[in-house]
């Protein structure tokens, strides 16, 4: 919760692909009876700001809450942030759980906007800040590389299946081979560009420090920096472990419920995946992680449990070991 700002206007925005629906309320009123629906265009963004200006509440005293729905929220959030509004982008699961807590049954865009307005006023979630340019330089290349890897694997699978037939059309095989070769080149180009951004960009020092840790290479360092926005989303090692969803969660109540602690399915799945994969190398080449991982395995811990514990330790997070 943001406690440093005293808000006078709370805005809830339900995001869709081509439109958005907005509702708002001052600290002394209920949400407006009729939320407005506008287009996801610069004209729609401007129309919303005109409506909000009519409330006579200044942008710095306004909290706008929207859900992180795909990538549809980004343009509106950036526009409103540039205009001076405080923006909070919340996990849709949090809004969904909040809706369950108020026993809401119906679901429409208007009702969702009103719900987010109430959520903004009651919870006042932490504000969002647009990431720096180096974030986009790294993230877009990483996402593109992941897509190309999937395409290359699909082409390889097609090639393998083709070779199982007694008759193989040479031109078809050539097309697949050319596709795989082309994708290899594109992936290498992206990796070269990632290396350059990590070496010369604003996060170069963080990237250099990360890559001094045995087990963390260029790609792992890039993902770690992007997913944590250079660790600004988790200011401590313990917070990093929690953000990755690698903290075991207790499951017990009274004297009858004594479930085994598990990491569950919360946290940032991509960050958890990156840290987990990094332990595959770290368990061989990082002396600290290797000894730690082997000790857990010798104690009878399943491989995945030991890997997750090692991933958490690789992030520097403390644990019950």
Q: What is the pLDDT of residue 70?
A: 87
Q: What is the pLDDT of residue 220?
A: 96
Q: Is 225 a residue whose pLDDT tops 80?
A: yes
In percent, the amount of the chain with pLDDT more than 70 equals 93
260's CB contacts (< 8 A; 6+ apart) are 251
Q: Is 320 a residue whose pLDDT tops 90?
A: no
- The closest of 51, 1, 7, 49 to 28, measured between CA atoms, is 7
d(CA 19, CA 48): 12
233's CB contacts (< 8 A; 6+ apart) are 243
Q: What is the pLDDT of residue 59?
A: 97
149-166 in b/e burial notation, b at 16+ Cβ within 10 A? eebbeebeebbeeeeeee
246-271 in b/e burial notation, b at 16+ Cβ within 10 A? bbbeeeeeeeeeeeeeebeeebbeeb
Q: What is the pLDDT of residue 234?
A: 87
Q: What is the pLDDT of residue 317?
A: 63
pLDDT digit string, tens, across residues 270-293: 999 999 999 999 999 999 999 999
Q: What is the pLDDT of residue 319?
A: 55
Q: Is 2 a residue whose pLDDT tops 70?
A: no
Q: What is the pLDDT of residue 49?
A: 97
Cβ(149)–Cβ(186) under 8 Å?
no
**Which pair of tokens denotes residue 251?**
């499951």
Q: Is 249 a residue whose pLDDT tops 80?
A: no
215-229 in b/e burial notation, b at 16+ Cβ within 10 A? bbeebbbbbbbbbbb
Q: What number is the average pLDDT over the span 105-113?
A: 87
Q: What is the pLDDT of residue 318?
A: 60
Q: Is 124 a residue whose pLDDT tops 60?
A: yes
Q: What is the pLDDT of residue 1?
A: 53
Q: How confident is the model at residue 264 (pLDDT cuts 50, 70, 90)?
A: confident
- 149: phi then psi, degrees, rounded to nearest 5: -60, -40
Cβ(263)–Cβ(247) under 8 Å?
yes
- The closest of 141, 16, 127, 150 to 80, measured between CA atoms, is 127
d(CA 168, CA 159): 10
The sign one gets for the Cα dihedral 98, 103, 105, 110 is negative
Q: What is the pLDDT of residue 321?
A: 45
Q: What number is the average pLDDT over the span 192-198?
A: 98
Q: How confident is the model at residue 127 (pLDDT cuts 50, 70, 90)?
A: very high
pLDDT digit string, tens, across residues 63-106: 999 999 889 999 999 999 999 999 999 988 888 888 888 876 67
The sign one gets for the Cα dihedral 81, 109, 113, 92 is negative
For the chain, give the mean pLDDT.
91
Return the top range by mean pLDDT from 67-76, 176-185, 236-245, 269-278. 176-185
- 263: phi then psi, degrees, rounded to nearest 5: -80, -15
d(CA 119, CA 34): 17
Q: What is the pLDDT of residue 221?
A: 96
**The whole model's pTM is what?**
0.86
pLDDT digit string, tens, across residues 16-74: 999 999 999 987 667 666 899 999 999 999 999 999 999 999 999 999 999 998 899 99
């Amino acid at each position: 919760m943001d406690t440093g700002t005293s808000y006078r206007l709370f805005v809830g925005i339900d995001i869709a692909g081509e439109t958005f629906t907005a509702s708002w309320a001052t600290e002394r009123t209920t949400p407006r009876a009729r939320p407005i629906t506008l287009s996801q265009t610069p004209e729609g963004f401007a129309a919303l700001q005109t409506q909000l200006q009519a409330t006579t509440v200044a942008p710095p005293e306004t909290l706008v809450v929207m859900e992180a729905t795909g990538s549809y929220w980004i343009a509106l959030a950036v526009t409103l942030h540039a205009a001076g509004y405080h923006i909070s982008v919340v996990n849709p699961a949090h809004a969904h759980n909040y809706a369950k807590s108020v026993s809401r049954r119906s679901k429409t865009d208007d009702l969702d906007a009103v719900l987010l307005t109430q959520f903004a006023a009651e919870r006042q979630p932490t504000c969002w800040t647009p990431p720096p340019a180096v974030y986009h330089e790294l993230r877009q290349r990483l996402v593109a590389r992941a897509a190309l890897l999937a395409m290359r694997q699909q082409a390889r699978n097609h090639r393998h299946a083709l070779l199982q037939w007694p008759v193989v059309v040479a031109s078809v095989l050539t097309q697949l081979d050319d596709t795989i070769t082309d994708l290899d080149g594109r992936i290498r180009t992206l990796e070269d560009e990632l290396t350059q951004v990590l070496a010369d960009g604003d996060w170069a020092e963080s990237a250099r420090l990360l890559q001094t840790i045995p087990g963390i290479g260029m790609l792992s360092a890039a993902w770690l920096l992007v997913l944590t926005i250079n660790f600004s989303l988790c200011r401590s090692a313990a917070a990093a472990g929690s953000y990755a969803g690698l903290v075991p969660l207790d499951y017990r109540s009274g004297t009858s419920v004594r479930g085994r602690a598990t990491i569950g399915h919360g946290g940032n799945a991509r960050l958890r995946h990156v840290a987990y994969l990094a332990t595959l190398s770290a368990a061989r080449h990082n002396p600290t992680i290797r000894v730690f991982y082997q000790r857990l395995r010798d104690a009878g811990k399943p491989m995945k449990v030991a890997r997750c514990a090692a991933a958490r330790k690789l992030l520097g997070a403390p644990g019950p070991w």
